[in-house]
Chain A
Amino acid sequence: PDSPLARWNKSLHSLLGDQDGAHLFRTFLEREKCVDTLDFWFACNGFRQMDIKDPKALRVAKAIHKRYIENCGVVSKQLKPPTKVFVRDSIKKQLIDSTMFDPAQAEIQLMMEDNAYQMFLTSDIYLEYV
């Protein structure tokens, strides 16, 4: 009744909370050339779990910003300009906070839920697995 597949269908969160599900979704996104959205989503979760007093936190925040937001990649293109400015300013002013990526992550998550996740559930890669 609560098979992995049933859980994957429930929500994006359930899919990403399952090792096989996350792996298969990642493979799907690689084919769709937007795997950065998923890596960014996980990076935001990882950042939120970090000890904000650890000097590493600022370096990780900068690395996430540089890799996904500052460029013209798939994540950057999906984020609203004010959201990008908020992250950029937080880093510039060194106002590092556990929640500083939350708005950006929420926007990317909404895009994934509405697009990639729906496509995934009808994709060949998913149906073959089923």
Chain B
Amino acid sequence: IDSEDDLLQECITSAMPNKK
């Protein structure tokens, strides 16, 4: 199970521009 911090980081990263 993902930790809270991982979930939050994943959420932020998903919204970052121009993912490669």
Contacts and interface: CB of A to CB of B under 8 A. Distances in A.
Interface in A21-68: 21-22, 39, 42-47, 49-50, 56, 59-60, 62-64, 66-67
A22 B8 contact: no
Interface of A: 16-19, 21-22, 39, 42-47, 49-50, 56, 59-60, 62-64, 66-67
Interface residues of B, number: 14
**Does more than half of chain A's interface fall in helix, strand or loop, or is it mixed?**
helix
B3 to A, nearest CB: 9
Interface of B: 2, 4-5, 7-8, 10-18
Given A63-B4, A63-B7, A18 B18 contact: yes
